[in-house]
A and B are shown apart, each in its own frame.
Chain A
Amino acid sequence: MGIRLMKGNDAVVFGALMGGCTHFFGYPITPASEIAQQAAYWFPLAGRHFLQAESEVSVINMLYGASSAGARVMTASSGPGIALMGEGLSYMAGACLPAVVVDMQRSGPGLGNIWPEQSDYNMVVKGGGHGDYRTIVLAPYSAQEMFEMTMKSFEIADRYRMTVFILSDAYIGQMMEQVSIEGIPSESGKKDWAVYADAQSRSNLITSIYMNIEKQSEHNRKLQKTYEKASRELLEFEHVATEDAQVVFVAYGICARICLSAVRSLRRLGLKVGLFRPKTLWPLPEQEIKQFAAAKKTLVVVELSSGMLASDISLYANGATEVLHIGSFGGATPTVTSLVDRIIEHIGDRHA
């Protein structure tokens, strides 16, 4: 075990190496470039492969190739790059190929700017590519979690033969914090479906096309079954002082950090406020939201978008409780003070 002071972006690379990733294919984009740069430095030192591709389209197809050949593979990018990978992500889902993809969210739409937003939520959580598929989405809120979640995502990707996304944001990536490098390093085992270019695996076929309605429909049903299983087994979340709370913040990534400070300030003022933090965005903790709603706790979704997570939370709350949304755009983040003021105002209104 060792402690390092690292950027979230750097911690991703350490997590990847501990998680048995052998291949990193990358393309530069702010604010994710440090991940490729660190991979270019550390992967060869660790006897693993780094290659800078000619585009994000090529990146995702290199992942497709290396993953077909049984390797543990990853890349990291930001909104515009992830959008270019959409088709490839869909192919990987259709062909049941495991991979890990990091999205360090920046502002959009279009070129946007390089400061944080959480506006890739719909693209990443709902699909982005064509067809009926899912990706597993983990949402770290510290450098330590960037390390831990990346590390474990390779095993998860292999288990379900799915893409695991690390959906983070520019702040979490650029911020330096303490990271404890710990855990048992893992390696990929032999995969019975992979194409290894040997006699044993010669009959293996990686494809996503079935020119027969029954076969394609059976394949798609199998995918949905996998998603259903993954959604039962992978849920992760954190409660902070929600038990007696009248108002519960719901947030992930940088917003969860800001909310954590707001909860502490509000508690010091004697107000019953908590934080619920989904650590998986797909699957999203539906039951917990329903329980909050049944208990009539006001849910305040704080996110750097127009309310993408908030609309999912509203769906689960289903009108049983009030769901408020506090959002911002373009790299602006809500301040702790603004959240505190807003909650005080809200509680005041309700008691007025």
Chain B
Amino acid sequence: MPDVQIQYSKSASMYQLFFRKENDQKTTHYCPGCGHGTAQKLIASVIDELAIQDRTVFLSPVGCSVFSYYYFDTGNIQCSHGRAPAVATGIRRTLSDAIIIAYQGDGDLAGIGMTEIVHAANRGENITVFFINNAIYGMTGGQMAPTTPIGVKTLTTPEGRSKSRDGNPIGMCELLASLQAPAYIERCSLSTPKQVLRTRLAIKKALDYQVRKKGFSFVEILSPCPTNWRMSPLDARAWIAGELEGDIFPLKCFRDVPQEIQPDSLSVIRPDIVTLLTKDSILKTSYDGPPRAPKYIKIAGFGGQGVLSAGELVAFSALEEGFNVSWLPSYGPEMRGGSANASVICSDEPIGSPVVDCPNVLIAMNNPSLELFENSVTNNGIIVLNSSLVERKPRRTDVKTYAIPATDIAKKAGLVSAANVVMITALAAITGFLHVSTVKHSIGNVLRKKLYTDKNLEIVENTLSYLREKEMM
């Protein structure tokens, strides 16, 4: 210990001596007459009174109070400019019993951090925000803040803040009071000893609400900055009382409605993760027969025809039959109403590129799909087309074509959206590369609407009847 005698003691939650962590200086880094010292002593005394020192996490902002951790003997986290309410949210979700204090200046909170404070307040985070409003950027040397009054000269408003150029000073309490979730919002001041004592009451109420899990609490504290206001400490306090506390920033309680915060029960239930993630997993049969010819499949149609789920049905079935598979969709805005296509590869060897440039199977659900992809089909490839909608025959003579009135078969069974199931059933039955029984089994796993599983299975049978009738299988 250094050779210093302590004459009187501070709150236990404030270090008795400020060994600034880098330079071992014993004084505070705040200027004479600054309000931060007063506000922070009040907060420390309330932390002591509520006996929450060990539970407290103090968030220092960017600004003059960036080094609050020199003073608070609590858990300490320094935050980036304006983001303390988001940081507090992250902590809140992690430590349910922590007392979280975000201590922010006017530039930090009402300027760059406007989004974070509004959303944390709107979620009703059970945290406490102390908003030190001294109407100026202090640490950077005295530039205009979002709360600087009209006409006040700063380094960036040398002729005074102009309403038409810079807008009016922002009332944060008024703004936050428009939200439903906050439990407590009050504006206080450090202008006179009486106001200082009132401020302490507000700080206590705010922290007490957090301790009792009553929701979001916000205390704005009008605070002097003699250095950047170019005033003596006494004049600075008089200026708060005379200029700030009047019409611009009226002192009052804007909200006092304690909320019932539901305890976070999530972390209590912790199921076995492997069991959770592996239930409903696929039974892949290992295949050890002769190598099977790989299938490079392109399925194309318009949005709503179930092109992507048709691809998924093939991939799922092929996986169950021991293939390596890949499924790659066209995706994005084009899916909604436009054309859609899926590339599916089924192969015994590990799959390289999942992109199917030259399919050996093309499933064309509509006219544009045949136009777009016919020429890319490999020699001796297969085209299965939905003859209900595709009006012409393929021009290619080196490929096998199968015309299936898929939409008609599906419509006849009362489920027009199942044309995709007709096409995949036909592909399996005609080529034999998948067992129809596997496709039937996969339908329940792949198609989202379980309600229609039986209908889809009926459609598989109808498709098989059609193929037998036409001697296609």
Q: How far is the CB of B304 from chain A (nearest CB, A)?
A: 19
Asked if B75 and A201 make an inter-chain contact with CB atoms under 8 angstroms apart, the answer reads yes
Interface string of B260-290 (1 = CB under 8 A from A): 0000001111110110111101101000000
Instruction: Tell me which of A44, A95, A114 contacts B266 (CB under 8 A).
Output: A44
| Distance, CA A70 to CA B95, complexed state (A) | 9
Q: Are B80 and A174 in contact (CB under 8 A)?
A: no
Tell me which residues from 115 to 156 in chain A have a Cβ below 8 Å from any Cβ of chain B: 115
**Pair B23/A51 contact, Cβ less than 8 Å:** no
Listed stretches A159-167, A177-185, A304-312; interface member = A177-185
Considering only residues 360-400 of chain B, those with a C-beta below 8 Å from chain A are: none
Nearest chain B residue, comparing its CB with the CB of A260: B352
**A-B interface pairs (CB < 8 A), number:** 243
B80 touches A205 (CB 8 A): no
**CB <8 Å contact, B282 and A196:** no
B332 touching A30, Cβ below 8 Å: yes
Residues of A within 8 A of B471 (CB): none
Chain A residues with CB under 8 A of B332: 30-31, 114-115
Instruction: Scan residues 67-105 of chain A and give those whose CB is less than 8 A from a CB of chain B.
Output: 67-71, 73, 87-88, 91, 95
Q: Does A215 contact B (CB under 8 A)?
A: yes
Contacts of B115 on A, CB cut-off 8 Å? 54-55, 57-58
Instruction: Please give the residue numbers on chain B whose beta carbons come within 8 Å of chain A beta carbons, in ascending order.
Output: 21-23, 53-57, 60, 66-67, 69, 73-80, 83, 86-95, 97-100, 115-116, 119, 266-271, 273-274, 276-279, 281-282, 284, 312, 315-316, 319, 324-329, 331-332, 351-355, 357-358
Across the interface, which residues of B come within 8 angstroms of A70, CB to CB? Answer: 94
| Residues A66 and B353 in contact in the complex (CB < 8 Å), given A54-B119, A87-B80 | no
Q: Is the CB of A2 within 8 A of B281?
A: yes
B168 to chain A, nearest CB (A): 24
A-B contact pairs, 24 of them (CB 8 A): A2-B279, A2-B281, A3-B282, A5-B327, A18-B277, A22-B94, A46-B273, A47-B266, A47-B269, A49-B93, A57-B83, A65-B91, A68-B91, A69-B57, A88-B83, A91-B80, A175-B326, A195-B75, A197-B100, A198-B54, A205-B21, A258-B352, A336-B353, A336-B357
B276 touches A46 (CB 8 A): yes
Is B268 in contact with A196, judged by CB distance below 8 angstroms? Answer: no
Do A257 and B83 have beta carbons less than 8 Å apart?
A: no
**Inside 8 A of B94's CB, which chain A residues have their CB?**
22-23, 49, 65-66, 69-71
Complex CA–CA separation, A95 to B97 (angstroms)? 24
Kindly report which residue of chain A lies nearest to residue B281, judged by CB atoms: A2
Q: Interface size bucket, A side?
A: 35 or more
* B120: min CB distance to chain A, Å: 9
Tell me the bound Cα distance from A47 to B325 in angstroms: 32
Closest to B56 in A: A197
The reply to whether A64 and B57 form a contact with Cβ atoms under 8 Å apart is no
In Å, the complex CA distance between A2 and B274 comes to: 9
Who on chain A is nearest to B89 by CB? A62
Measured CB to CB, the closest approach of chain B to A190, in angstroms, equals 13
Q: Please determine whether A3 and B54 come into contact, CB atoms closer than 8 angstroms.
A: no
Least distance between B328 CB and chain A CB atoms (Å) = 5
The A contact surface, by secondary structure, is mixed
Point out the residues of chain A lying under 8 angstroms from B69, CB to CB: 205, 207
B350 CB, min distance to chain A CBs, angstroms: 8
B76 touching A58 by the CB < 8 A rule?
no
Q: Is the CB of B77 within 8 A of A5?
A: no
Contact, CB under 8 Å: B90 / A63 = yes
A220 within 8 A of B: no
Neighbour of B267 across the interface among A18, A47, A59, A208, CB < 8 A: A47
Contact B57 A197 (CB under 8 A): yes
A352: CB under 8 A from chain B?
A: no
Task: Check if A61 sits within 8 Å of B353, measured CB to CB.
Answer: no
CB of A4 closer than 8 Å to a CB of B:
yes
Over the window 296-329 of chain A, the binary record of Cβ atoms lying under 8 Å from chain B Cβ atoms (1 yes, 0 no) is 0000000000000000000000000000000000
Is the Cβ of B357 less than 8 Å from the Cβ of A206? no
| Alpha-carbon distance between A205 and B284 when the two chains are bound, in angstroms | 51
* Contact across chains for A209 and B66 when beta carbons are under 8 A apart: yes
In the assembled complex, A45 has its CB within 8 A of some CB on chain B? yes
The answer to whether B90 touches A64 (Cβ under 8 A) is yes
Alpha-carbon distance between A18 and B267 when the two chains are bound, in angstroms: 16
Top 6 A-B pairs, shortest CB-CB distance:
A65-B90, A2-B281, A2-B278, A261-B352, A197-B98, A61-B86
A323 to B197, CA, bound (A): 73
Taking a contact as CB atoms under 8 Å apart, the answer to whether B22 and A215 are in contact is yes
Select which of B92, B282, B331 is within 8 A of A5 by beta carbon: B282
Select which of A47, A73, A88 is within 8 A of B270 by beta carbon.
Answer: A47
* Interface contact A23-B93, CB-CB below 8 Å: yes
Contact of A178 among B99, B269, B324, B331 (CB under 8 A): B324
